[in-house]
Amino acid sequence: MVEDSHASWVPPNHPRRESLFIRERLVDGFRDGYVAFQGLIAHGRGECFDYLVGESTIPPALTAERVAAAALLTASHPVISVNGNTATLAPRQIVELSKLINAKLEVNLFYRTREREELIARVLRESGAEEVLGVADDASCTIPELFSERRRVSCRGIYTADVVLVPLEDGDRTEALRKMGKTVIAIDLNPLSRTSRAASITIVDNVIRAIPNMIKFAGEMREMPRDELVNMVRNFNNEENLRSVLTFIRDRLSELASKGITLEFPKP
């Protein structure tokens, strides 16, 4: 359950209370100056795909979350890339995950301004982060073949990372990071986006659910033999997993289409 002190106007019995709370967080982040206009649009796109999966974690997403935890636990230099939407949706959870898997946190923005990067770093520090990379002069290395502001990264962070977790990523950068030979873990509700299709491990789930699931799995798997974790990652096939996501959505929609979906009301 998402708690939010700012959304007191939402009636307690509103059928979409949780979704409205989450939306309100985006608005708060926008008003505080670190969620971009475009981040609000991206959130709406995510909500649409969340309806298609039934607003819950579907089996192929659980598999990808487990494999992603294994990839992060066995990485030599894991980094979590944070943008405005992620910082407002799951700040404490992102910090908790980074501590559990020993990953660095790095701010990386498509719509980069000095003010936004510093505000996001502050949100992360207030949520318990000790170090946040990618702010101001720290973002001095360049991802080749990338022309958006997202090309600027920390030389101690994303630039040298072997595994990068990118919640709500842009397709271009996912491709550029893959071309650099990195393992890219994406969290993206749209299984058809370029990000989803370019990532090494795609988690088709809401960031709100995916990060806590990964925390749980990383906690459980920490004591597992390294070989087993490495094999889990090696045996994962992202193409197959994305097909399972599409099949799940297709079957779910077929079932709904045959059952009927209108809400019941008293006859007039």
Name which of ligand ATP, Mg ion, none residue 97 binds, using a CB cut-off of 5 to 8 Å depending on partner kind: none
Q: What count of other Cβ atoms lies within 10 Å of the Cβ of residue 175? A: 18
Contacts of 265 by beta carbon, 8 Å cutoff, 6+ apart: none
Q: Which does 204 bind (CB under 5 to 8 A by kind): ligand ATP, Mg ion, none?
A: none
Ramachandran category for residue 142: left, alpha or beta (phi over 0 → left; psi -120 to 50 → alpha)? beta
Q: Are 198 and 171 in contact (CB under 8 A)?
A: yes
Q: How far is the CB of 192 from ligand ATP (least distance, A)?
A: 8
Which is nearer to ligand ATP, 193 or 213 (by Cβ)?
193
The C-alpha atoms of residue 120 and residue 95 are separated, in whole angstroms, by: 12
* Binding-site residue ranges: 23, 45, 188-190, 194-195, 206-207
Cβ closest to Mg ion, residue 138 vs residue 170:
170
User: Which among Mg ion, ligand ATP, none contacts residue 245 (Cβ within 5 to 8 A by kind)?
Assistant: none
Pick 119 or 176: Cβ nearer ligand ATP: 176
Of 236, 247, 268, which is closest to residue 63 (Cα–Cα)? 236
- The CB-nearest residue to Mg ion is 170
* Least gap, CB of 224 to ligand ATP (angstroms): 27
- Residue 125 burial by Cβ neighbours in a 10 Å radius (0-12, 13-18, 19+): middle
Q: How far is the CB of 38 from ligand ATP (least distance, A)?
A: 7
Compare residues 67 and 208 and give the one whose CB is closer to ligand ATP.
208
Please report, as ranges, the residues that interact with ligand ATP according to CB under 6 A.
42-43, 45-46, 49, 89, 168, 170-171, 187-190, 193-195, 206-207
Residue closer to ligand ATP (CB basis): 53 or 153: 53
**Closest approach of Mg ion to the CB of residue 142, in Å:** 19
Report residue 268 as tokens: 């007039």
The DSSP letter of residue 205 is S
Residue 188 contact among ligand ATP, Mg ion, none, beta carbon within 5 to 8 Å by kind = ligand ATP
For binding to Mg ion (CB under 5 A), which residues are involved? 170-171
Beta strands at 163-167 and 183-187: parallel, antiparallel or unpaired: parallel
Nearest residue relative to ligand ATP (C-beta): 46
Q: Min. distance of Cβ 268 from ligand ATP in angstroms?
A: 39
Contact 87, 179 (CB under 8 A): no
Please say which residue, 39 or 157, places its beta carbon nearer to ligand ATP. Answer: 39
Q: Which residues are annotated as a binding site for ATP?
A: 23, 45, 188-190, 194-195, 206-207
Distance CA 164, CA 148 (A): 18
Tokens of residue 252, six digits: 């779910």
List the one residue out of 31, 8, 73 whose CA is nearest residue 214: 73
Smallest gap from Cβ 169 to ligand ATP, in A, equals 6
